[in-house]
Amino acid sequence: MPRPRKKRYRREAARVPRSDAALPEYDRSTVPEGLVTRRQLRGMGLSAGNNEGPVAILRCKLCATRPQWSCAHPTRGYLLRLDLAMPKRTPTLAQEWALDRAMAARQTCPRCHRRYYFCLPLRTQGVCDP
């Protein structure tokens, strides 16, 4: 007698009718204007900004042939609202100076006041290698 195919049952159970899905789903060709994936945002130099989580799901290529089922595949994407996206944060000049000062403190020897290209073992040794 053949053993029951457990794997198949599990796959059936994972299928959720599309009407029960929590988020609206769109196929790659039917994504409405103003919704983009995180990767697209990055490509445009934007961050998620004020987006509080995804608002829709970009269905995977496989699910294009199964319109009645919700896509639960790892290759699905999450769609964010483009109008809530913000420009990516770049460090200001003051922040860069602060960073440089911090690096200078770690790279400069307190005894001979030479600055090195690497961080000195100030905590253990306190001075540069003579």
Instruction: Report CA-CA distances (Å) from 33 to 25, 40, 76.
Output: 14, 13, 18
Total site size for Zn ion, rule CB under 5 A: 9
Under DSSP, the state recorded for 65 is: G
The nearer residue to Zn ion, 56 or 109, going by C-beta atoms, is 109
Q: How far apart are CA 56 and CA 17, in angstroms?
A: 16
Minimum CB–partner distance for residue 41 and Zn ion (Å)? 22
Minimum CB–partner distance for residue 4 and Zn ion (Å)? 25
Minimum CB–partner distance for residue 106 and Zn ion (Å)? 14
The residue behind tokens 């602060």 is 98
The nearer residue to Zn ion, 90 or 124, going by C-beta atoms, is 124
Q: How far apart are CA 109 and CA 42, in angstroms?
A: 41
Segment near Zn ion (CB under 5 A), from 30-38, 43-51, 56-64, 100-108? 56-64
Cross-strand partners of 77:
58
Could you tell me the two tokens for 119?
């961080």
Name residues contacting Zn ion, limited to 94-123 (CB under 5 A): 109, 111-112
The nearer residue to Zn ion, 102 or 127, going by C-beta atoms, is 127
Q: Which of 36, 46, 57, 63 binds Zn ion (CB under 5 A)?
A: 63
Q: Which of 21, 60, 84, 122 binds Zn ion (CB under 5 A)?
A: 60
| Residue 125 φ/ψ, nearest 5 degrees | -100, -40
